[in-house]
Structures are given as structure tokens and as C-alpha cells.
Amino acid sequence: MKQIINVRLNTRNVDFSRCKTDVLVVGVFSDAKKLDSLNAQLDKKLAGAIGRLIKLGDFKGADKTSAIVYGNEKIGARRILLVGLGEKDKATLDTLRKAAANAAKKSVEIKAKTVALALHKAFGKKFDLSAVGRACGEGTYFGSYIYDEYVTDSQNGRLGSLKVEVIEPDSGKLRQLKKGLTAGAIIGRAQSYARTLANRPGNVIYPATLAAAAKEVARGAKRLSCTVFDKKQLTEKGMGGILAVGSGSQHEPRLIILKYSPANNKAASKLPVVALVGKAVTFDSGGISIKPAANMDEMKLDKTGGIAVLATMKALAELELPIRVYGFIPSAENLPGGSSYRPGDIINTFCGKTVEVQNTDAEGRMILCDALAYAVKQKCEVIIDIATLTGACMVALGKHKAGLMGNDDELIRQLQKASEDSGEKVWHMPSGDEYAEEMKSKIADLKNIGSRWGGACTAAAFLRQFIGDAKWAHLDIAGMDQFQNPTEYSAVGSSGFGVRLMTTYLMNLINRKK
């Protein structure tokens, strides 16, 4: 897939004020009493221009703000971009990630070709420099991302590539920064890949083309294999849930299976086999229980859980992480039609449990239950699923946090930690027996909807029935899948949510066991 903006990331051993660049990016805290040493050094060469700007109150260093000061003959940079970091005590790695994203977005907007990042100067004391480098890498990709592959005049004035360098005169520090930056670039690229695939509409991405994309990812990566079950194989295996959801569409369903087997098998054998399971409904019209017309177009993003799994598999293969990970991506298009599944139908699922369909719009759980049971059968010890599963989760948490449910306290804690580290926010919600009770059917083992209340929790409780003894966590990312409007650090459209969270979870597992 072509990168819409080709970002090249590197480090450069150079003095801050001498560095020749279109944009030199520095951070400013809102509660700093005076300029920090880097900003004071630049300010002196700029004859007090930064100090005046701040004194006038035009720029206060508040979160989400930025200002440009133009360079002069005493400075290598043509522009100095001051990025607000908010209060110093509240700053986290996500503050830095967002600042890097904000800077990258501004740089793209002003059509800069080269950017020099010196944001780490404000963070290097509080955080490990490698983590700082990684946040810079992830943020740079995130902020420079745009999706315009179908805008036919998009070549007009478009910036083809952006060269971003983290600059630092101390070569020891630079080495540490570079380590993180390299990982950050891999993760950032994977997330941008996820965003583009997710932004593509339902007439372009349907189960067969998604499967082709997964095959392409596997071909391009080391130690990653991809197998795809088509309708015939799904029928042979008895995956009635995936088949039912896909039955109303001309585009037949698939189950995409990715396997990553690391070179370092000895290290990997001490860690559990992890399954990542992602919902990929390439378009969710609701089926016979059809959705209202307003905003139905957004349901092209109902594949983002599955795509997050694919992109995470790509990242971990490039990072060569020493852990065995399987990716399972059930994919179907949910449409009404003469051959659709219907309310009242009873479906035989892969593990033998029967499900009474009461609403064809609760289709995510119908495809996930087959994939989850299949992951259990493949002896995966830890199973994490990710899905745009319920509008109810969005009602509960808004568009700020994803729902996190599960059956294992340690796994929940690990995902909460990964969430803090990655800046992809989650909130723990219940999914226990009282919710499972609501999912019992009078005429089958289960039904696919509960009562009016607690829809995110009953959906998770349904999934829990297919987990057996495995450790399991569920991420409901409805609401987190997209930005409905551009923000200061993101383009509109798919957010790629989950790629950083899941990759960080896996990286943390490895570092913990070292």
C-alpha cells in the first residue's frame, strides 16, 4: 500500500540552533516561570522573539496550542514551532506523543519538507530516552497522517514526503533516542496502515480483499504466515456464526488466520501463546434488523478491530518480538437480502453451542464467537478480542475510552498498563454472571441480545461463553474507531485504535519476563 505521505524518520547529531531545517520543534510548558535552557538559547539568537511572544500572551504553552516564530541569520532553522505541553507535573509520554503529532500535522499543513524535533529536551529528565524516542516516532506518524487516495486533485500542492529528524548534540543520548524512534516508526507505520485500510469503503474492502491485504502483509513480513478459510472451508468447519452474518451479501465471508512464530523460540517458550481476535464486518447495515439511514456510512469502519489485529501482527513481526502470537480475523458483510439470516434463526456455532438470533444487527458477536472458539481450540492461552461491538459502550464511555472486560485480573492490569503507556485509553467494565444470565435463550443455548440495559456488558458476557478456560480480555472500541472531525493532532476518519495498545501489551510482556 502506498504511504499517502511518505515519512522518513531519523536522528541527527547536530547543535539545536545550527540545524538547517524548515521547522525546528520545541516544547513549552504552560506553568514554566522562565524559558528552559534550549528555548533560552534560541531566544537569545532570535533577539528575544520567543520571550516577547510569551510575554504578550499570544502563546501560553497550553495543551493543544502552538505558535511559529521565524528564524534569522543566527539560526539554522527557517521556523521555530513552539508546541504547548500544558502543566509540567501532568505531562506524560502521551503529552509528548500528541505534541509530536501536533507538530507533524502543522508541518504538513505548511508544506514543510524537513522537520527537526527537539521535543525530547522537555521530557528527557522525567522519562527514559528510548521511551521518549518511541513516543516521538509514533506521534510523528499519527499527526502527519491524511487519507486522500480518492481525491483526484490531491496531487495539487500535496507534499510527497516529510523528512523528520530527532536532533541532539550529545551522541550518547542520541543512541538511546534512536532505539525508541526505530520501534516508534514501526508502530506508527503499522497504525497508519490500519487507518488507510479502515478508511477504504465497503465497495473496496470486503472479506476477500481484506484477506488479500492480510496475505500481502504476511508476504512482506518475516515469520508471519496467513491462511484464509473461504465459504467452503467455513462450512466444512461448522462456523455457522460467520456464515450466517455473511449470508446476505454477494461478498462471501472469510476467516483470516495469521501466525507469527519468532526466531527466538527459547525466549518465546516461557511466554503464553497469545491470540488477537478482531471483528472485521466490512460494512454493517444491520442486516434484516436494518439500521437507520443517518450516518450508516460510518459502518464501513466496523472492520477496524480486525484491521487493528492485522496491523499489530505486522508491527510485531517487524519488531521481531520473541513471543508466539496468532491473529484471527473473522470477516463478513452484514446486508439484508433474500439469503440473509433473520431474527428467529437458530445458528450452530463452531464449538457446538446454538444461538437464537433476535437481532441481526448484533452480528459482531456472531462472527467473534466462532473465531474465539477456534482460538481456544488452537490452544491459545491468552485471548484478546477487539471489536466495534456495541453502541451501548459508546453511550457509557463516550468517545474517550474503550470498554475493557475480561475474566483474569492480571490480564486486565496488564492491558491497563499498556493503555497508560500507549495513550490508547480503556476503562474496566463488568461482564460477569448476572449479565450472562440475560443472554440465555428459551429455545437455544444463547440468544444474541440482552435487555435494554448494559448492552456493552451483556455483549461481553455473550463472548465469555466461548472462551473456555483461557485468559480472556475484550476491548469494545465502538466510539474509538474514528475521529468524526479533525483535531489538532489527527486527521478525520479512522484512528487505528488498538494497534499501539496491543503492540505495547506484547512488548511489556517480553520486557517483564527478561
Using the Cα atoms of residue 235, residue 241, residue 243 and residue 244 in order, give the sign of their dihedral: positive
Cα 22 from chain centre: 30
Measured from the CB atom, the residue of 124 and 343 that comes closer to ligand BES is 343
Using the Cα atoms of residue 372, residue 376, residue 379 and residue 380 in order, give the sign of their dihedral: positive
- Residue (of 302, 292, 210) closest to 256 by Cα position: 210
Determine, following the binding rule CB under 6 A, whether residue 359 of this chain makes contact with ligand BES.
yes
Which of 137, 241, 253, 364 is the binder for Zn ion (CB under 5 A)?
364
Marked catalytic residue, from 178, 324, 365, 500: 365
Measured from the CB atom, the residue of 396 and 467 that comes closer to ligand BES is 396
Which of positions 381-410 make contact with ligand BES (CB under 6 A)? 388, 390-392, 394
CB atoms within 10 A of CB 8: 11
- Residue (of 1, 85, 98, 97) closest to 36 by Cα position: 85
Cα 399 from chain centre: 14
For residue 390, the partner it binds in ligand BES, Zn ion, none, with Cβ less than 5 to 8 A by kind, is: ligand BES
Active site residue 195: no
Measured from the CB atom, the residue of 138 and 363 that comes closer to Zn ion is 363
Which of 43, 252, 284, 421 is the binder for Zn ion (CB under 5 A)?
284
Which of 63, 138, 165, 302 is the binder for Zn ion (CB under 5 A)?
302
For residue 27, the partner it binds in Zn ion, ligand BES, none, with Cβ less than 5 to 8 A by kind, is: none
Active site residue 266: no
- Residue (of 211, 132, 214) closest to 166 by Cα position: 132
Which of positions 13-52 make contact with ligand BES (CB under 6 A)? none
Which of positions 132-151 make contact with ligand BES (CB under 6 A)? none
Q: How far is the CB of 333 from ligand BES (least distance, A)?
A: 12
- Residue (of 385, 361, 368, 387) closest to 479 by Cα position: 387
Q: What are the C-alpha distances in Å from 335 to residues 248, 253, 300?
A: 5, 12, 12
For residue 376, the partner it binds in Zn ion, ligand BES, none, with Cβ less than 5 to 8 A by kind, is: none
Marked catalytic residue, from 60, 163, 175, 291: 291
Do 43 and 51 meet the contact criterion of CB atoms below 8 Å apart?
yes
Which of 84, 188, 240, 364 is the binder for ligand BES (CB under 6 A)?
364
Q: How far is the CB of 290 from Zn ion (least distance, A)?
A: 10
User: Which residues does 265 contact at the CB level (< 8 Å), separation at least 6?
Assistant: none
Q: How many amino acids of this chain bind ligand BES (CB under 6 A)? A: 15
- The site map against ligand BES for 278-317 (x = CB under 6 A) is ------x-----------------x---------------
**Rounded Cα distance, 416 and 460, in Å:** 18
**Rounded Cα distance, 147 and 132, in Å:** 27
**Rounded Cα distance, 206 and 195, in Å:** 16
Report, as residue numbers or ranges, the catalytic residues: 291, 365
Binding site for Zn ion (CB under 5 A): 281, 284, 302, 361, 363-364
